């Protein structure tokens, strides 16, 4: 069974930094891309950043220039380095892994439970 686990959230002051981690556990044959999304109270979940299996990265406008998505060599873990955090970045951050458990399986999304980021003085 594939499990996606996020970590690294917490309380930080405006202008501070956090690094979120997302790791995929279990037997997964292929990972095509991994994504970060966030959801603030009363708002819809929104895209933050993505990285593909060939390390191509993409960012939402609010993240571009402030945050960096990266992965380690085995591609089962990604990070989101968040700098210059603002109060409006307060949200639960979710990791989504798009992959397939076998060579013949169709790709699907595996979601984590989320990690809370609170930016406040």
- Rounded-to-integer distance, Cα 116 and Cα 11, Å: 8
**Burial class of residue 19, CB neighbours in 10 A (0-12, 13-18, 19+):** middle
The distance of Cα 83 from the centroid of its chain, to the nearest Å, equals 15
3-state secondary structure of 121: coil
Upper half-sphere CA count for residue 23 (Cβ side, 13 Å): 8
Q: Which two structure tokens, joined as six digits, stand for 117?
A: 């980021």
Write out the H or E segment, with its range, that includes residue 92: strand 91-100
Separation between Cα atoms, residue 51 and residue 40, nearest integer Å: 22
In this predicted structure, what is the pLDDT of residue 89?
Answer: 98
pLDDT at 73 (0 to 100): 63
Mean pLDDT (10-residue bins), the chain, 121 residues:
96 98 92 96 97 94 97 83 98 96 93 98 95
At 2 the pLDDT is 93
């Amino acid at each position: 069974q594939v499990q996606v686990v996020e970590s690294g959230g917490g309380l930080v002051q405006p202008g501070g930094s956090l690094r979120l981690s997302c790791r995929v556990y279990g037997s997964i044959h292929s990972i095509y891309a991994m994504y970060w999304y966030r959801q603030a109270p009363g708002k819809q979940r929104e895209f933050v950043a993505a990285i593909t299996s060939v390390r191509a990265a993409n960012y939402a406008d609010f993240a571009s220039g402030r945050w960096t998505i990266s992965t380690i060599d085995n591609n089962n873990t990604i990070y989101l380095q968040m700098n210059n955090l603002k109060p409006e970045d307060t949200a639960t951050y979710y990791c989504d892994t798009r992959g397939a458990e076998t060579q013949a399986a169709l790709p699907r999304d595996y979601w984590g439970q989320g990690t809370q980021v609170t930016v406040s003085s």
